[in-house]
Amino acid sequence: MAELKDLLQSADWKAEKHVPVIEAPAAVKKGEFLEFKVVVGKEIPHPNKTEHHIRWVAAYFHPDGSKFPYEIGRMEFNAHGEGVEGPDTSTVYTYPVASMSIKTEKPGTIHASSYCNVHGLWMSSKRIDVLK
């Protein structure tokens, strides 16, 4: 039996359209907010259809030396073309990107996860340094 951690897939985002890309500066000044985005399909667009789409992304911050990560936020994407006339008829589609912002006094790692309704769970990470 696979554990959940074994089902989280990762890859190079430039070659794999499911990877949640963390767009963030490499460092933030102490006391200032770090703004970042989590986007799926940055290099290779992911399908965005009723039958195949990205449902959500989430982000966590793991400060150096901390036992556990902290969840920063999550965003659901709920419009995938479904309409009263059937799949892919509404012409309304959400694009899988989320903007978030955190403040931290400790450097650490942003972890992001995403979920495709066909291809499962994906993850990525980005190191963040804190400048004094």
Which amino acid is present at 57? Answer: V
Tell whether the torsion through CA atoms of 123, 19, 40 and 82 is positive or negative: negative
Among all residues, whose Cβ is closest to Fe ion?
Answer: 116
Q: How far is the CB of 66 from Fe ion (least distance, A)?
A: 32
57 contributes a contact to Fe ion by CB under 5 A: no
First to last CA, the chain: 46
Among 118, 120, 125, 127, binds Fe ion (CB under 5 A): 118
Residues known to be catalytic: 16-18, 46, 52, 116, 119
Strand 120-131, strand 27-29: pairing: parallel
Burial of 119: CB neighbours in 10 Å, binned 0-12, 13-18, 19+: middle
11 contributes a contact to Fe ion by CB under 5 A: no
Rounded CA Rg of the chain: 16
Among 116, 123, 128, 130, binds Fe ion (CB under 5 A): 116
Among 50, 119, 121, 126, binds Fe ion (CB under 5 A): 119
Q: How far is the CB of 41 from Fe ion (least distance, A)?
A: 9
Q: Give the interface with Fe ion as residue ranges (CB under 5 A).
A: 116, 118-119
